[in-house]
Structures are given as C-alpha cells and as structure tokens.
Structure 1
Amino acid sequence: MTHATLWLATPSRYAGLKPQAARIALALLALLLAATFLALASPGPPPVSRDPAQRAQDQADVMLYESIVQDMRGGQDYYSAAAQELRSGDYPMRPFVTFRLPTLAVVQALLPRDVTIGLLYALTIGVLFAWYRQLKPALARTPPRLIAMALLCGGMIAFVQGELASFHEIWAGLLIALSLAVRREDKWIEAVAIGLIAMLIRETAALYVGVMAVLAFAEGNRKEALGWAATVAVLAIVVALHAHAVGQVVRPTDPASPGWAGLLGFGFFVKTMQLSTALVLAPLWLAAPLIGLALFGWSAWNSALALRALAIFAVYAALLGLFGRTDTFYWGLMIAPTLLIGLAFAPDGLRDLIAAARTPRRKITITRMTR
C-alpha cells in the first residue's frame, strides 16, 4: 500500500519496501544516527575568538591567501609570492600540494576586491537559482520548496562572507553545487566545464569529478563519462606543471607537512559539517543527528541526482575521516552547500519506511475440507 506523499511530489525510495527490508533499513538508520554522536568525542579546531584584533590568528589561512594576492598585485609572480608568504608564516612547503594551484590568486590579482566579492555573490545566486529549478518539480507544494531553499541557504552560510573570498574551498564548493544542479542526462557539458573550473581552483574537487565519471559510466552514458575523464586528464597536466614550478622555489631546508593520515573517523566528518553550515549555531548534540537525517533524506529522494549527491557525500566523508586533520576541517566546505537539503526529503522517507516496516504479514489459512 502506497500512502499519499507528504512533501515530495512522488513516493520516496522507501515506499513499498517489503517489511523485512524496511526493518533492516530502519536498523541502519538508527545505526547512522547513533554514529553521528561520535562527533561529541571528536577533536576539532580551536574556537574562533570573534575578536577583530585576533583575525590574524582566527583566519590565518585566509590572511595567507590575501597576502599572496597583494604581493602579486605588487608585481611578484605567484610562486615567488606563495613561497615568501608560506615561509614567513612557518607553513609547511613540502610536498608540492602544500601550495594551492595559482588559478584563484591570479584571477583575484587581476580584479579589484569589490569585483571579486561581487562575483562570489553572483555565483551564490546562481547556485540558489539552479537548485530551485531542480527542487521545484521534486517537492509537491510551495512551503516544502521554501523550506528546502532555506536549508540550501543554511548550507551556504559561510559562502556569503566576503572576507572569505580568498579561500579556495569557498569557490570550489559553490562550483561543485552548481555543477551538480545543472547536470542532466541530455545536458552535461556545462556541468563538466564547471567541474573543471572547480578542480583548477581546488584540486580536491577531483573527487567530485571522479564520482560523476564513474556514475555516468555505470549508467551507460559513455560520452559523458569520457567528458568527465577528459577534465581529470587536464587537471593531471596542470598539477604536473604546478609541481615543477613549486620545485623551483622550495629549498631543502623548508619544513615538510606532517602528513594527512589523521584517521579521525566519521565523527570528525559530522563535526566538520556542523562547522561548515548554519548548524554551527546549534549545540553539537542536536546538530549531529540532524546531519544524519539529512544524509538519510538524500537516500529517500527517488532520483538519480540524489544517488549522485549521496555518493559525493560518502567520498568526501571518507576523505575527512581518513585524511583530515583538525586544521583541515574546512575541507567540509566542498560539500556543505547541498547537504542540509536532505532534511526536506526526510519526512517522506521516515513515514514510508516506518509504514513499510509495520505492514502486517499476510496470513495464509489452510482449510481442510472433507466430502
């Protein structure tokens, strides 16, 4: 028996599940929600003081990137400026990935700061518009659509802060959200191009592109899969040239990175999602299960886009849980914009899952007849 939908326009992925499968899914959901509380024991970055006088300490990385751009406006090339600022800030300079790709800094050095911030806001508006177009047919009525858009805004709370415009993950995260929203089976070139831009700003966007390539191939969309793969090949060439350029400015005595094998686990991923979204305003004991429900909600929306989003969240959760350190929590910004939208799909998924689990088994009665 299929019930009328609550917020979704069509039944959730869990509608019509067999009772045994629904009970297993409920058990897995309970396990997921319990696992989110690991965030309570997970280490995190030191708290931000919010004192303007302490900005150099609170936003050291942002100020590093701003200083590099300022040096470039003064006539230095990117690699010399980056090496100088990294060295003066006692940052690790080996291996070469400690240097960001020059794309964002070069663009910002060519533009006035106000224009850069204007572009950031324009990109944010573009993400909002693209996701509204995606969500309008998925959600049956106006109130759920408005709630979904509010959740999208909650995921982008860090992305409309002009003082973070020099932060690479801010731009890459918005570009990933935009690429995912504009991709369609018959219209994927724009999504691929936006994904390439995201990678050229922050190379960890390659995880997103890789997921999109694999899923396109799995669905039989070979041309699309080749398109995504081609952008990875372009990135590989760019990274090779980048590594060579970094090698020209790094000295043997420069400090090396301590490594990225943080092994902080799923709880750290949950904590980064709290810190990267509007859930930072809520206590962690409340924010943690909401993040779990958001992931569940994405699994409930019966669409290919939702499966892509889930796969992307899973890959970045693995990145953060395995390789993240407390000072690299900002990697979570790569997927923060869209995560909370899943809460808009959760009511239908929960109702359908519980209803399916409670469906009584049909009893077969055998009557013995004698003549």
Structure 2
Amino acid sequence: MTVGALGWNRFAGVSRPVAVVVLSLLALLMVWGATGGVGRDYVAVAKPTSAQFDGLVGDHALYARIAQRVDAGESYYAAAAAEHRVGDYPLRPFVAVRLPTLAYIVATLGEQKAMIFLLAVGGTAILGWYRRLRTESTLPRYAAVGALFVAANLTQLAAREWLFIHEVAAGILLALALALYRPARPWWTMAIVAAALAIRETVLPVAMLFGTFALIDRDWRAAAGWLAIGLCFAAGLAAHIAALAAVTTPVDAASQGWNGQGGWIAYLSFIQASSLLRFFTGWVGALLVPLALLGWAAWRARLGLVVLLIQFGYAALLMLFARPANFYWAMLVTPTLFIGLAFAPAALTALVRSLARPKRAIPASAI
C-alpha cells in the first residue's frame, strides 16, 4: 500500500503502544456499554398523561399547539407562555422556552410544506455527503457509503411529530453545513450554521468551533463573518429574553435544571433513541457508537477533525447535562455520527497491524 493510500488514515503506522491504548479504550467503551443497560431506563418518553394535541403527546404536542396558535395570528410569546402553563412546562429561565424561528416556519408554510422543506434539506445533506466523500482525493472510494448512514438516520423526517422538535431541523442543517465545509470557502457553511443557530441556540458551540479554526488559519474575513453571526445571535437572544420576560411572572414554573450526569450509558441511550438504532437492542449501539467515533478519529483532515470535536463535545454535554427527557438533544449529531463507520474497518485494520508488528531487535552495538 502506498504512502498516499495511507495518508488519510491517522492510525496507519502508529506505534504499538499507541495501538494498545486506542484498542484498549475501544474495548472498554464497548464492554461498558454492552453491560451497562443501554435503553429506555435512561430515556423518558412522553406518557399517555402528558400534554396531548391532534394525536401528538408531550413536547411534540406542546410545540405543535404553539405553532398552530402562531398560525392563527397570536403572538409567539403569548402563545408559548399560555401553552407552557397549561402543560405545566417551565417558563424560567429563558432557555426553557424555544426560540420562535421553527414555529414561524411551520406557521408560514403549513405542516405539509414544512415537512417537504425539511425533507428537501435532508436529501441535499445526503447528496452533499455522498459527493464530499466520493470526491475527497485522499479517501478510498468505499468511503462514499457513509452517505447511506446519513440517510438511515434522517428517518425522523418522514414522521409528522418530529417536525416540531427543534433539534431535528437544526441537526439536518448541521449535517448539510458540515458536508459543504471548506476552510477556503466557508460562506455556505456560515449561512447554514446561522440558520441552525436561529432555530436552536445549542448550535452555538459549532459556530464557535468554526470561528476558532478561522482564527487559527488567520482567515480574518471568515473570522469576522463568524463574529458577526455571534453578535447577531447575541442580539436575537437578548430580544428573546426581553420578549419572554414581558409575558412571564415570578410565580411561573422554573426548570429543575440540566444536571442529568447520566454518563456514557445515558449518552448511548440517547443516541439509540434518536437514531436508527431504536429498532435494535442496546448492545448493538454499544458496539457501533465507539466504532463510529474511532472512524472519525481516523480521518486525518480538517473536516474529520471538526466532526470529531463536535461529536466529542456534544457527547460530553449529553453525558453531563441532559436529563432522560432531553434525549432528543442527540438529534443534533446523530445524522453525522455514523458516517464514521465507513472509516472504522480501515482504522481497526491499521491498529491491529501495528499491534501485531514484531518488535525491532536491539542491535548488539547498542547494548
């Protein structure tokens, strides 16, 4: 195998100690997940007693009802405050109430057209990843199969109830933004990340990461663009806080906080519930998720590093802060996580070869 063929694989030719550490960590995470009880014990889904509306329950019903009231001409914040109170949802602090963007999109387009729009964005993301993986000169041709993993984990787009969950729309946009990301031409990625940020403020770490790389590259125009997005977001968030303060009172319910601290097993459970893995038993995800992360770690490229940092960052957030009812936060990253499985076989092969490589004999002259 030529040097060029190995160039994309970070684990090709690593030393034996490095291979031992990486494979040991991989095995530890797999065993931990397989024996840790991944599944619904860590996920709180809507109950029959939860808020209901037009066949939807829980958060789905809450956000659908708000969108309907906005469509009827009511102010978003008045509608959100009323529906939160009726469903006994918290109104404080401000992050307990979603930004109004998705509600306005659904109210303006209508449910059917909004679903078609999200399907179109999802389809574009799938095609974008296929083209990106197929045309990267350093990657093997089979890497394009990663686009199938994107498609498999966008199945929520075909279900009406997920139209109203903000992480679904933001996750689709992030998948598209990453497929289009090129440091020398970041403008499409910048616009799409800004749109995702307008839907869900938890996209902010991604914008900050891109801005950091722009600074590292000394690309001052791109850095200025990301700074402008940050400033616009701050202004929009300030307006959101002010508008919400106008319709809430000190006696309104407050959130119980975000300190789930469920750790690795909770993270795996959230990924399972938010992806195609929901159709399989928990041990399947316990094996595949670490392999997907290993695959992303293997791709020696700016995009590979960016996605790996995003996956690790949100994994940490989910492990530390997400409560069982927040499992769908994982939908921000599940569309791109399993692309890493396309790189995992080559990563494993390289690590095993490094592990099996015979030790060099010590020359007699060195003794």
For normalisation by structure 2, the TM-score amounts to 0.91
Q: Is the 8 A contact 1:37 1:267 kept in 2?
A: no
Partners of 2:204 and 2:86 lie apart in 1 by 30
Q: Which residue does the alignment assign to 1:236?
A: 234
Q: Which residue does the alignment assign to 2:26?
A: 29
Residue type of the alignment partner of 2:90: P
- State which drifts further: 64-73 or 26-35: 26-35
Q: Is the 8 A contact 2:259 2:322 kept in 1?
A: yes
Partners of 1:220 and 1:210 lie apart in 2 by 15
Taking the TM superposition and a 5 Å limit, the aligned residue runs for 1:71-220 are 71-138=69-136, 139-141=139-141, 145=144, 147-220=145-218
**Structure 1 pair 273/235, CA: closer, same or farther in 2 (3 Å)?**
same
The number of residues matched between the two structures is 360
CA-to-partner distance for each residue in 1:161-187, whole Å, 9 max, x for gaps?
Answer: 233212111110001111111110211
Q: Is the 8 A contact 1:266 1:321 kept in 2?
A: yes
Q: Secondary structure at the match of 1:165?
A: helix
Give the CA deviation at 1:48.
6.8
Give the CA deviation at 1:304.
1.3
Q: Is the 8 A contact 1:39 1:284 kept in 2?
A: no
Give the CA deviation at 1:56.
7.5
Q: Secondary structure at the match of 1:40?
A: coil
**Structure 1 pair 56/114, CA: closer, same or farther in 2 (3 Å)?**
closer
**Structure 1 pair 84/294, CA: closer, same or farther in 2 (3 Å)?**
same
Partners of 1:137 and 1:9 lie apart in 2 by 17
CA-to-partner distance for each residue in 1:137-183, whole Å, 9 max, x for gaps?
Answer: 345335x53x3222112222223323321211111000111111111
Q: Secondary structure at the match of 1:94?
A: coil
CA-to-partner distance for each residue in 1:219-274, whole Å, 9 max, x for gaps?
Answer: 44343233223212211111111000000101222111111111111221111111
Q: Is the 8 A contact 1:39 1:271 kept in 2?
A: no
Give the CA deviation at 1:359.
1.3
Give the CA deviation at 1:119.
0.4
**Structure 1 pair 74/49, CA: closer, same or farther in 2 (3 Å)?**
closer
- RMSD, aligned α-carbons: 2.5
Q: Is the 8 A contact 2:262 2:320 kept in 1?
A: yes
Q: Is the 8 A contact 1:179 1:195 kept in 2?
A: yes
Residue type of the alignment partner of 1:312: I
Partners of 1:21 and 1:97 lie apart in 2 by 42
Structure 2: gaps (5+ residues): none
Partners of 2:294 and 2:228 lie apart in 1 by 32
Partners of 1:18 and 1:258 lie apart in 2 by 48
Partners of 1:38 and 1:192 lie apart in 2 by 41
Percent identity between the aligned chains?
35
Residue type of the alignment partner of 1:119: F
Out of 332, 357, 363, which is 1:334 matched to? 332
Q: Is the 8 A contact 2:261 2:319 kept in 1?
A: yes
Partners of 1:191 and 1:233 lie apart in 2 by 17
Give the CA deviation at 1:217.
2.5
Give the CA deviation at 1:41.
6.0
Taking the TM superposition and a 5 Å limit, the aligned residue runs for 1:30-45 are 30-37=27-34, 39-40=36-37, 43-45=41-43
Partners of 2:265 and 2:56 lie apart in 1 by 23
Q: Which residue does the alignment assign to 1:14?
A: 11
Give the CA deviation at 1:113.
2.0
